[in-house]
Structure 1
């Protein structure tokens, strides 16, 4: 029973977070980020400002908070440890993008529209662009942790950090292009294309034979 109650609480918390963030993104898009207050978001969501702050410590978090890091980390942890780092990370980024834009039993069009609205806000709002770098570092850390390269092997950790940073840079370029194209392109395919351009091979297709010397 305690486990069931804990699961129900976690589910209600997640539903509340999604509802608050959905109202926030809608209001920021309609009125402008700077013109919308946390109190406005709370009123639209039917909760108190304190409840908003309990779920989103800062106003920026109302846009920037997302499950991307968790999804990517889960997929990396489940990938074969003997695969090259770039393929493990790149494959996870593509798979997570597919999950976020396609949904699992949800409404794909709504999922894509929500992500697109968040991206437009991040690109057009100076305060969000500045904070987005923090999210980049947090996702990089989550990736390195999921790969299992800790401080016990500094060289391995360094290689993982470099690979994660390079893959995230390619993904960011794809996200900006997707937003500029108003979401008409296939986002997972666009991320895969960016990774292929950066590293010379598709992150989810079988690796080809080694080049002959």
Structure 2
């Protein structure tokens, strides 16, 4: 968690974020050791020292333990911080480069591992589609705000869909390769 976020978050929010991160860490470890399908919510909860009902307060489904993250606000902040003279594509590229550059090596490794699981486990891949649809809506709203158009404008939706398409195509490529792709001029 960035230092600025720690100052603005209250104790309760910090504790929730810490618990969520611990559950995700234990789940990822168990998925690695036992396999996704062989790992139960009860095993994840036990490893994270919480009850199964607490698990479900954080994650409505087992799939959500891998799909839920805190990257959307980071992307929004990075996009909005881009110079106003940039078009949406330039601003999105700058936001992605900035967001990735600010991630630690551990965060990048975890993201790679999560993406690998999502792409190789059919039920996770299916659940990820809903997540990508929500992200596409978020990108459409950001692009619309930047261009003075509506989020449902055809050009704005096409742009958001193209960004998601690139995201999907990059999921099987190592994060370092995708970073190099985004940072080449």
Range into which the TM-score falls when normalised by the shorter chain: 0.7 to 0.9
Residues 160 and 192 from structure 1, CA distance in 2 versus in 1: closer, same or farther, beyond 3 angstroms? farther
Residues 133 and 116 from structure 1, CA distance in 2 versus in 1: closer, same or farther, beyond 3 angstroms? same
Deviations 1:139-170 (A, max 9, x none): 111222233449x9448733222112212222
Unaligned runs of 5+ in 2: 1-6
Distance 1:62 1:25 in 2: 9
TM-score normalised by the chain length of structure 1 = 0.74
**Contact 1:144/1:164 (<8 A) preserved:** yes
Aligned positions, number: 178
Structure 1 position 189 matched with structure 2 position 185: no
Q: Secondary structure at the match of 2:172?
A: helix
* Residue number in structure 2 paired with 1:98: 101
Distance 2:34 2:164 in 1: 31
* Residue number in structure 1 paired with 2:68: 65
Deviations 1:54-105 (A, max 9, x none): 1111110001111222211111122233321111122212222223xx33xx
Deviations 1:35-72 (A, max 9, x none): 11111100000000111111111110001111222211
Distance 1:87 1:51 in 2: 41
* Residue number in structure 2 paired with 1:15: 18
Q: Secondary structure at the match of 2:37?
A: coil
Q: How does 1:87-126 map to 2 (within 5 A)?
A: 87-99=90-102, 102-103=103-104, 108=105, 110-126=106-122
* Residue number in structure 2 paired with 1:211: none
Larger radius of gyration, structure 1 or 2? 1
Q: What is the RMSD of the two structures over their aligned residues, measured on CA atoms?
A: 2.5
Residues 173 and 53 from structure 1, CA distance in 2 versus in 1: closer, same or farther, beyond 3 angstroms? same
Residues 89 and 48 from structure 1, CA distance in 2 versus in 1: closer, same or farther, beyond 3 angstroms? same
* Residue number in structure 1 paired with 2:155: 159
